[in-house]
Amino acid sequence: MGTLSAPVPAEHKEPRHEPSNVALVGVHGFGAHHLENLERLQANGVVRLVAVADPNPPTPGALPPGTAVFSTLDELLAGIPALDLVIVATPIQTHAQLALTTLPHADLYLEKPPVASLADFNRLQEAATAAGRSVQVGFQSLGSRALLAIEELLAAGEIGTLLGISATGRWVRDRAYYKRSRWAGKRSLDGVDVVDGVATNPLAHAIATALRIAGARTVDDLASVETDLYRANDIESDDTSVIRIRTAEGLPITCALTLCAAESVEPYITLQGSEGTAVLYYTQDRLSVSSASGERETAYSRADLTEDLLEHRHQQRSAQGPASAAPLISPLADSGAFMQVLEAIRTAESPALIPEQYVTWEGEGGAARAVIVGIEDALERATAAHATFSELGLPWARPAVDAGRPVLSLPDGGLPGASVVEAGQRGAAVVATLRSGAGLGERLSPRPYLHPVRTLAGVKVTDHLPADHSWHLGAGFALQDVNGSNFWGGKTYTRAAGRYEERQDHGRIIEVSATSRPGLLKQELSWRAPDGTELLRERRTTRSRLLDRRTWQLDLTTELTAVVDSSLGGPGSNGALGSGYGGLFWRLPACSGAEVFTAESHGEPEAHGSTSPWLAWTADFTEGPATLVFAAPAEAQDPWFVRMADYPAVGSALAWDRPVELAAGESLVRSFTVWIVDAKLSPAEVAELVAGQASSEE
C-alpha cells in the first residue's frame, strides 16, 4: 500500500463558492495557528476573516486589512450580524459558554477539549441540535489520511486480529509552561472546571486518535475508564498518567503519558495485532507497519479541519440538501468517548505528588523542568502489559488494589534487612510479597506470584510485567500448555503450527484459600481453563528461613493434582527445540556483570538444558550485588532453563521435551530451594553453601 494521493494545494484551487465569513475568538496561544491558517484560506479565496475577539488585542499588523477587533464574543456578535463560522480557541474553562453563545448565530469550530465536563458536553450537544448547527472539534490528528490506511490494513488482516491499542507520549514541559496563564495546570479555577492535564490538553490527541482507531466515538462505545494520575510539578492537574480504557467490544486501550521525560519524542499510537504491529506517529502522519509481509513506513497527508467544516456546510446548503453532505471529520457527537475519558479524569482522586527522590530537575529558572527517574521504561511497561503505574509497583506510585501482602518475613534482630521492614511487620524483615495477579489482563494468564523478592539488605531480585515479556511475573509456577490452555501468558507454541500463535486460550490460576504466618504461606489454588473448567488443583507451600547475616532460604513446594485427565506441557514438548520452559520460573530484574554457572558448567549455552543439582546466578542489581542459587527438585532431574542475552531469567523445566501425563486424581510434586545472598559468590563459594545446607539437613 503506497502513499494516498495528496490533496491539491489550496493555492492551486479555484474557489467553488463564495468565501465564508469567519470570526476567530482567541488570537493568542493556539489561536495564532488558526490565524495563520485563516490568512492562508483568505488568500485562496475560501474565507473572509471578518472579525476577531480577544481581551488582549493582537499586535498591529497581525490581522488582514479590514478585520474588525472586539474584546468579547458578545461584542463581536452584536457588531457582525452575518457570520458563517466562528472558531473558538480560548482557555478550556471558557469553551462551554462561548460555544453556547455562538450556536444561535453560526456554525462552530471548537478547539479541544470541547468542554471541561460531560454535563457541559451534553448541554452543548442539545444546543447544537436545537440550533441546527454543525460543530467541528479541533482534534487535528483525526484529519490524517493515515487513519484510512489503518482501516484498510485492519480490514485486510495484515496484522491479524487487533488485540489492543496503546498510546505513548513523552514530552518535556518546563516551569514557564505552567506559568503562562492562570489556568495552566489547574483542575479548576474560581470554582469552574478546567481539567488542564497531560491527557486532556497537550497529549489529548493521543487519546482521541487511539479512540478513533478503535471505533470508539460515543459515550456508549466505552465500557470502562480507569485513571492513575500523578504530578511531579507544583500544579493541581496531572503531568504523568496512565489512562486505561476498555471499549464496549472489550478492546483494551492504554494511554501512558508524561510531560516529565528526559527528552521529547514524537508521540505514537501502537496497534497490537496477533500477526504484527502498526505504529502511528500522529503528529507526523507517519505509519510504520511490521508483519509477516515485512516492514514499511509511509507518510500521509492531512485534511484541514477548518476546510472540512466549510465544505460540509456548503454541501448542506446545496441544492441536494443536508442529506448529501459528507460527515465531518471530527463532529461534536464523535467526541463523546473522549469526553467520557475527560470526565473520569475530572472526577478522579487528585493526582498524587511524586516524591522528590524520584524526580530530577534540569535547567534553571523558568526553563527548569522535572524529569521522573525511569519514566521511559515505566511508559513502555504500562503499554505492553496494559497496566497502571500502581499495578507495576513503581516506588512512587499509589499502592495497587493488588499491591500484594507481605507473606515471607524473617526476624530482624539488627540484620541489615531493616530497610525492608513494612508497616505491621515490626521486628521482621519482609523478604517476599505475594500478588494475586487477579487484576491482570487475560492475555497475561493471571496467577499468583511473588514480587518483589529481596535480599536481606533490600536488593530486589525479581521483576514483573517487563516490557519485553509482560507476562513474566516475578517468581512463581506456571505452564504454557495444560490440555490446550495457556497458563503462562503471551503467544502459544503448537506442534501443528510449528510456531508461536496468538490464541484465545489463556487460563488463570485462582487462590481458593490461603493460610500464613511469618515465614510460611500455604495456598490452595485452582487452575481454570478459559471457559472456567477446573483442570488442576494445586497445593503450594512457600517457606523462608534465615541462614546468616547475608543469606536467607526460600523453599517452594507444589503438588499438582489432575481434576481431569491432564497433559502438562509447553513449547518444548510441542516441538520448540530448546524452549522447554514451564514449571518454576524466576524473572530477574535488569542487572550488570551477570554470570550463570552450575557445578559442572559456566555460561548460558552450557547451563541451559543441563540437569545439574544446582544453578547459580550472580550479578550487580540496581540496589547492590546479589547471588541466587537454585537447587534442583529432589523428585526429578528437570533441566534448567536459562536466559541471559534476551532477558534475565531462570527456570526449572517440567516438560522440557515431552509432556507429563496425569490421570484424573493423580498428583505430581516438585520441591525447590533458592538461596538468596547479599554478595556475588564464586563457584567455589556456591558449592560450599550448597554442601553446607545439605549436611545440615541430614
**Tens-place pLDDT, residues 205-263:** 999 999 999 999 999 999 999 999 999 999 999 999 999 999 999 999 999 999 999 99
Share of the chain above pLDDT 90, in %: 88
Q: Distance of CA 61 to CAs 65, 66, 492, 537, Å?
A: 8, 11, 66, 79
Cα(42)–Cα(19) distance, rounded to whole angstroms?
A: 8
Burial class (CB in 10 A: 0-12, 13-18, 19+), 286: middle
Domain ranges of the chain: 10-142+305-333, 143-300+336-378, 459-696
Identify the pLDDT of residue 59: 87
Architecture label for domain 143-300+336-378 = 2-Layer Sandwich (3.30)
Tell me what the mean pLDDT of segment 93-111 comes to: 98
Identify the pLDDT of residue 416: 42
Grid coordinates representing 281? 506517529
Mention every residue, 6+ apart, whose C-beta is less than 8 A from residue 47: 19, 20, 21, 22, 38, 41, 85, 310
Identify the pLDDT of residue 567: 98
Angle between helices 204-213 and 146-155 (to 10 degrees): 30
Identify the pLDDT of residue 411: 66
The closest of 590, 588, 608 to 598, measured between CA atoms, is 608
pLDDT band for 426, please (50, 70, 90 cuts).
very low
| Fold agreement between 143-300+336-378 and 459-696 | no
Least confident of 395-404, 469-478, 533-542, 656-665: 395-404
pTM, two decimal places? 0.92
pLDDT band for 698, please (50, 70, 90 cuts).
low
> Which residue has 479548576 as its cell numbers?
188
* 417 pLDDT more than 80: no
Tell me what the mean pLDDT of segment 410-430 comes to: 47
pLDDT band for 9, please (50, 70, 90 cuts).
very low
Tell me what the mean pLDDT of segment 147-166 comes to: 97
Grid coordinates representing 593? 556483570
| pLDDT, tens digit (0-9, with 9 covering 90-100), for 269-292 | 999 999 999 999 999 999 999 999
Grid coordinates representing 606? 552450557
**DSSP annotation of 478:** E
The closest of 615, 608, 617 to 577, measured between CA atoms, is 608
Tell me if the bond preceding 113 is cis, omega within 30° of 0.
yes
| pLDDT, tens digit (0-9, with 9 covering 90-100), for 294-335 | 999 999 999 999 999 999 999 988 767 677 789 999 999 999
Grid coordinates representing 493? 507454541
Mention every residue, 6+ apart, whose C-beta is less than 8 A from residue 395: 358
* 424 pLDDT more than 50: no
If one compares 430 and 593, the residue with the highest pLDDT of the two is 593
Cα(174)–Cα(364) distance, rounded to whole angstroms?
A: 10
Q: Are 445 and 488 within 8 A, CB to CB?
A: yes
Cα(387)–Cα(228) distance, rounded to whole angstroms?
A: 10
Count Cα neighbours of 686 within 13 Å in the Cβ-side half-sphere: 27
Cα(167)–Cα(259) distance, rounded to whole angstroms?
A: 14
> Which residue has 492537574 as its cell numbers?
237
What number does CATH give the domain 459-696? 2.70.98
Mean of the per-residue pLDDT values of the chain: 93
pLDDT band for 652, please (50, 70, 90 cuts).
very high
The closest of 582, 585, 567, 584 to 660, measured between CA atoms, is 567
DSSP 3-state percent helix, strand, coil across the chain (nearest 5) = 25, 35, 40
| pLDDT, tens digit (0-9, with 9 covering 90-100), for 20-58 | 999 999 999 999 999 999 999 999 999 999 999 999 989
* 169 pLDDT more than 90: yes
> Which residue has 490464541 as its cell numbers?
503
Tell me what the mean pLDDT of segment 83-91 comes to: 97
Identify the pLDDT of residue 481: 98
Tally of CB atoms within 10 A around 680: 17
**DSSP annotation of 251:** -
* 10 pLDDT more than 60: no
Tell me what the mean pLDDT of segment 521-527 comes to: 97
Identify the pLDDT of residue 415: 45
Identify the pLDDT of residue 425: 38
* 414 pLDDT more than 50: no
pLDDT band for 177, please (50, 70, 90 cuts).
very high
Helices (H), 554-679: 604-607
Identify the pLDDT of residue 401: 78
Identify the pLDDT of residue 507: 98
Amino acid at the residue 258: T
If one compares 81 and 483, the residue with the highest pLDDT of the two is 483
Architecture label for domain 10-142+305-333 = 3-Layer(aba) Sandwich (3.40)
Identify the pLDDT of residue 396: 97
| pLDDT, tens digit (0-9, with 9 covering 90-100), for 484-501 | 999 999 999 999 999 999
pLDDT band for 428, please (50, 70, 90 cuts).
low
Cα(445)–Cα(465) distance, rounded to whole angstroms?
A: 12
pLDDT band for 422, please (50, 70, 90 cuts).
very low
* 412 pLDDT more than 70: no
Q: Are 507 and 563 within 8 A, CB to CB?
A: no
Phi, psi (rounded to 5 degrees) for 605: -60, -35
| pLDDT, tens digit (0-9, with 9 covering 90-100), for 536-581 | 999 999 999 999 999 999 999 999 999 999 999 999 999 999 999 9
Grid coordinates representing 74? 458578545
Cα(436)–Cα(232) distance, rounded to whole angstroms?
A: 30
Identify the pLDDT of residue 408: 82
* 423 pLDDT more than 80: no
Tell me what the mean pLDDT of segment 110-122 comes to: 98
Q: Is 536 helix (H, G, I), strand (E, B) or coil?
A: strand
**DSSP annotation of 326:** P
Q: Give 280's strand partners.
A: 269, 287
